Amino acid sequence: MSELRVQGVTMTYEGADGQPVRALENINFSMNQDDIVTVLGPSGCGKSTLLNIIAGFLNPTSGRVFIDDREIAGPGPDRGMVFQHGALFEWLTVGENVSFGPRMAGIDATSRLASVDELLQLVGLAGFRDTPIYNLSGGMQQRVALARCLANNPDVILMDEPLGALDALTREKMQTLVLKLWQETQKMVFLITHSVEEAIFLGSRLLVMAPRPGHVVKEFRLPFAAAGLSADPREIKSSREFIAVREEILEMIWSMEEQH
């Protein structure tokens, strides 16, 4: 049972004009095994900053992040990353991308091969093991990115707008895949998105953030992710409960925009 804790994280950048930019102010939350947390908020509210601190790419100005009892002090294979685009290694095949982590860890080629085929099966890319990355569509590339981070068996998967560059139809399919991976692998998922609908549909918990300084305004606990695989996604998204939450969140975001 792993757990991720963010304790009093504050981040102040030095802006271009020398003025401090308060990107995050005193963020506190924790998540565990059953959680898929989605984060929503207007541009510049510090979502990516928070994710990069959890990933270990940024040191917070103050505050700490723990996975179980280990304090985070840099990037590591216990936290898998999925970026919006451009993070796959285009000089490697699909299979070589997926087995990159195990290869770096020195795991031998034959045992790598078996797990690669399993993972490709899981993300719906069976038979693409030897295809070059650049011959895949955007949606397929994101499937590779998901398989690649799962290959390391991380405790948590961090995603910064993973589906943001995809067309609407592919995006819906990929949302279902994210839910499937979350349920089958039992990993914590932390996912940033700009789509209100996506945040509600995918999040068992949803954090709404506001800018200047970046902070969490409200947390929702939602039932849709848990139901997402057994029912028709379109039905869920047009259900009364779903629409009620959506309107509430849109209201909050609109009022944030008006204040500035």
Partner 1 sequence: MSQSNVRKTRSWLLFWRGSDKGLAKCKTVTFGDPAAVEGGAIYGVLSVLTVGIVWQLVAMAQIVPPLFWPSPGAVFDKFIQIATEGYKGFNLFEHLGISLYRVMAGFGLGCLFGIPVGLGMGLNRFIKGWMDPLIEFYRPVPPLAYVPLVIIWMGIGDGGKVLLLFLATFSIIVISARAGVASVAIQKIHAAYSLGASRWQVLRHVILVNALPEIFTGMRVAMGVCWGTLVAAEMVAATSGVGWMVLNASRYLNTDIVLMGVILMGVVGFLIDMCMRKLEQKLIPWKGKGRG
Q: How far is the CB of 97 from partner 1 (least distance, A)?
A: 8
Q: How far is the CB of 107 from ligand ATP (least distance, A)?
A: 34
* CB-nearer residue toward ligand ATP: 35 or 160: 160
* CB-nearer residue toward partner 1: 150 or 249: 150
* CB-nearer residue toward Mg ion: 41 or 102: 41
* Residue sitting closest to ligand ATP (CB): 48
Task: Write the interaction track for ligand ATP spanning residues 35-74; mark x where CB under 6 A is met and - where it is not.
Answer: ------x-xxxxxxx-------------------------
Q: How far is the CB of 106 from partner 1 (least distance, A)?
A: 10
- Map the chain to HEC letters: CCEEEEEEEEEEEECCCCCEEEEEEEEEEEEECCCEEEEECCCCCCHHHHHHHHHCCCCCCEEEEEECCEECCCCCCCEEEECCCCCCCCCCEHHHHHCHHHHHCCCCHHHHHHHHHHHHHHCCCCCCCCCEHHHCCHHHHHHHHHHHHHCCCCCEEEEECCCCCCCHHHHHHHHHHHHHHHHHHCCEEEEECCCHHHHHHHCCEEEEEECCCCEEEEEEECCHHHHCCCCCHHHHHCCHHHHHHHHHHHHHHHHHHHHC
Rule CB under 8 A: which residues touch partner 1? 55, 57, 74-77, 79-81, 83, 85-91, 97, 100-101, 104-105, 132-134, 141, 148-149, 152
* CB-nearer residue toward partner 1: 10 or 99: 99
Chain residues that interact with ligand ATP, rule: CB under 6 A? 13, 15, 21, 23, 41, 43-49
